Structure 1
Amino acid sequence: MDIVLAGLKWQCCLVYIDDVVIFSPTFEQHMTDLERVFQALQSANLTLKASKCQFCRREMRYLGHIITQNGIKPDPDLIKSVTNFPQPKKIKDVQSFLGLTGYYRRFIKDYSKIVEPLLQQLRNSQQGNHQLKWSKECTNAFETLKKKLTNAPIMNTPNFEQPFILELDACEYGLGAILTQEYDE
């Protein structure tokens, strides 16, 4: 699919394995973009299964996110697995929790700083100490991540008519940068 739609990727469509998302600024343009994608698929003798297709959507669930004309946010149904995650009792639990939250790290400001106590648990286990030594700092990091994910911001598309705000941060165990814009609700 990547090869077949290579000339259209990022212009009007995104491809992940066999999923294709077609995006357009207007309905009229969407019809044109659909036709271009259909022609490319037809030229490669590929067919679509109608029951798996959705057309002209203003909102969709895709790879753990909800995508709308206003932006992208974490899928609340998947965030429930984070908010319902019990406090880790083993190193493997910490790894699982960080795997879940790490997928959405772009929505959490200062993610690297917040997770540091949990990452320290993993580093300790790699040095042969496989006992989980849960601390007040670990509890704070664990609960903060849950809270921030349930109140995650919507990532909007950039508005090149408005100024951008670049925030940089660094400390002894991490560094980060975030590019933001202020939007009127």
Structure 2
Amino acid sequence: MTERAKLISAFTCPFGHFQWVRMPFGLKNAPLIYQQMINNCMWGFVRLSPEEEALVDQDVLGYLKLDSQSPCDEVDAECSMTPLVEQMTVFRRNIPAPSQMGPVLGRSAYIDDIAHGAATWTMRISVSLPKSEFGKRVIPYLSHEIGAEGIRATPKIVKGIQELPFPSTLKGVQSFLGSLNYYHKFIEDYAVVAASRYELTDDQVRAGRALSRVKESFQILKRKIVSTPLLRHPDRTKPFVIIPHANQWAACAVLGQMHDGLVQPVRFTGRILSDAELKYHIAEKEVLAVMRVLHVFKNLIEGCPLWAINSKTAEGRLVPWGVALSQYDLEIRKVSRDEDGLAAIMGAGITPREHLDEVAEVLIPAKVRVKPPLSKCSRKNTPE
């Protein structure tokens, strides 16, 4: 903490006046500063670009066994990020560790470089080995399981959500939705199914009036959270595929990539439409779904080629939207919904579009239900 930051973050309690010496949790900019500091400390484990290497101390490059004059095509992005493991002898197995290091594993390894090399770093960052896990195929992290192929929800926590009874108060409904919001990226049509639950009132829940759609939505969400698919890790060397889906009240989309000839899901997203958007053409709603993906996952897909698969066409409002989409390397492909079309390229983690429509038929929220037409009655003559 700088002297100015210490004064700004100082606080008072019954035990006296205190100020932070090191950066604490909870500060607004703490994650940003922490990530920046980690990136600066770990720069040596990633090959820098030629321009950045020219600014590095030659003694450091000599210790790392790197030649700053080695040829590297500036255009080739992969060459600029070549892992040091190809050149650094400190990463090779069964080589005695340097005398200035006390090896953790009995031999020189990148763990030793991080743990013991930190003493020479001005930022004084080291790895806590008791809190770390190495050589694991799957790592639990923040109620998720992260593996080599992708990320999935932790089954134990998901099972606890499945056993929840239907809430008896509006606050209980909100608590259930809050627990699902953490896993919404695993539920393909979350906005479609959960829309009716946002219209509930506390009196309606306590009295049990008109809860058939809400209870059906409750059961569907519990089934979906149990069968969440594996979300693949994004591969920026492959084009992304966007599969939009829209109905009367929601617009959803799948962000996926091709693996083994099938589109496997990377992320799911969606939202409930506003009152004005309810009047849009179905093709316009699909464009809203595509724009939702580009907005939510902008940092993930920017600079990569994209495919957008649609099944509806329309003109008019799509023209200005096309201008907004022109900044992306986006290719739109129209496919049919039969077995030889979209269904033939979708992986097991993506639900066919017609099945989503079947589920949505019993979950229509109140704001989009069509009122029955008034019956024609003969007007009676009334005395003036």
TM-score (norm 2): 0.37
Does the 8 Å contact 1:5/1:40 carry over to 2? no
**Could you tell me which residue of structure 2 aligns to residue 19 of structure 1?**
none
Identity of paired residues, percent?
25
Does the 8 Å contact 1:79/1:149 carry over to 2? yes
CA distance in 1, matches of 2:253, 2:112: 39
CA distance in 2, matches of 1:100, 1:62: 17
Structure 1 residue 82 displacement after superposition: 1.0
Kindly report which structure 2 residues correspond to 1:45-56, keeping only aligned pairs within 5 A, or say none: 45-56=124-135
How many residue pairs get aligned? The number is 163
* 2:199 matches 1:120: yes
Q: Which moved more, 1:37-46 or 1:68-77?
A: 37-46
CA deviation string 1:97-116 (max 9, x = no partner): 10111111111111001001
* Shift in alpha-carbon separation, 1:40–1:117, aligned structure 2, 3 A: farther
* Shift in alpha-carbon separation, 1:46–1:143, aligned structure 2, 3 A: same
* 2:183 matches 1:104: yes
- Indicate which of 69, 77, 85 corresponds to 2:164: 85
Does the 8 Å contact 1:166/1:180 carry over to 2? yes
**Could you tell me which residue of structure 2 aligns to residue 6 of structure 1?**
39
CA distance in 2, matches of 1:46, 1:160: 30
Structure 1 residue 66 displacement after superposition: 0.1
CA distance in 2, matches of 1:140, 1:113: 12
Q: SS state of the match for residue 145, structure 2?
A: strand
* Shift in alpha-carbon separation, 1:58–1:6, aligned structure 2, 3 A: same
Structure 1 residue 85 displacement after superposition: 1.0
Kindly report which structure 2 residues correspond to 1:126-137, keeping only aligned pairs within 5 A, or say none: 130-132=203-205, 133=209, 135-137=211-213
Does the 8 Å contact 1:73/1:154 carry over to 2? yes
* Shift in alpha-carbon separation, 1:83–1:182, aligned structure 2, 3 A: farther
Structure 1, unmatched stretches of 5+, are 13-25
* 2:229 matches 1:150: no
CA deviation string 1:41-73 (max 9, x = no partner): 843123443321212322100011000001000
* Shift in alpha-carbon separation, 1:160–1:3, aligned structure 2, 3 A: closer
CA distance in 2, matches of 1:118, 1:5: 42
Structure showing greater radius of gyration is 2
Kindly report which structure 2 residues correspond to 1:146-185, keeping only aligned pairs within 5 A, or say none: 146-159=222-235, 164-184=240-260
**Residue identity matched to 1:168:** P
Q: SS state of the match for residue 175, structure 1?
A: strand
Q: SS state of the match for residue 3, structure 1?
A: helix
**Could you tell me which residue of structure 2 aligns to residue 43 of structure 1?**
122
**Could you tell me which residue of structure 1 aligns to residue 217 of structure 2?**
141
Structure 2, unmatched stretches of 5+, are 1-33, 47-82, 92-108, 261-346, 348-384
* 2:150 matches 1:71: yes
Extract structure 1 runs of 4+ deviating beyond 6 A. Answer: none
RMSD of the alignment, in Å?
3.2
Structure 1 residue 74 displacement after superposition: 0.2
**Residue identity matched to 2:36:** I
**Residue identity matched to 2:233:** T
**Residue identity matched to 1:167:** I
Structure 1 residue 148 displacement after superposition: 0.9
TM-score (norm 1): 0.72
CA deviation string 1:101-145 (max 9, x = no partner): 111111111100100111111xxx3xxx54414511111111111
Q: SS state of the match for residue 119, structure 1?
A: helix
**Residue identity matched to 2:135:** C
CA distance in 2, matches of 1:2, 1:148: 34
**Residue identity matched to 1:53:** S
Does the 8 Å contact 2:188/2:252 carry over to 1? no
CA distance in 1, matches of 2:222, 2:258: 24
**Residue identity matched to 1:3:** Q
CA distance in 2, matches of 1:82, 1:35: 41
**Residue identity matched to 1:175:** A
